[in-house]
Amino acid sequence: MLIGAETAERDWVGYEIKESYKKGNGLLGIYIHNVVDLDRRTDVKGKNPFDNLYIENKTNGQKTYLSQTYKTYDWVNDNGYGNFASWVDQAARQAGK
């Protein structure tokens, strides 16, 4: 998932994350605020959407936020161009795929 300035506040984003989780898909987030746009500007860093969602342990009620489980990366600072494939591979392995 690409994470922009307002991604975490979008209702459909939470829905899509939940559905991907239910399907057992690998999950990761990529911050894009440092990517230069056509006007040579960047944006502010958005909130991590995985902070909004959690899994509740049925036995003890303890919440584990998805941000504790799934990684996020910064496209520019973490060299997304060179590392994207390994990020996807790692997310897939984490999902058992």
For residue range 12-55, what is the model confidence (pLDDT) as tens digits?
A: 999 999 999 999 999 999 999 999 999 999 999 999 999 999 99
Distance CA 28, CA 38 (A): 26
56 backbone dihedrals φ, ψ, rounded to 5°: -100, 125
Per-residue pLDDT at 40: 96
Per-residue pLDDT at 81: 97
88 backbone dihedrals φ, ψ, rounded to 5°: -65, -45
Per-residue pLDDT at 48: 98
Mean pLDDT, residues 4-14 taken together: 95
Per-residue pLDDT at 28: 98
Per-residue pLDDT at 14: 95
CA-based R_g, the chain, Å: 14
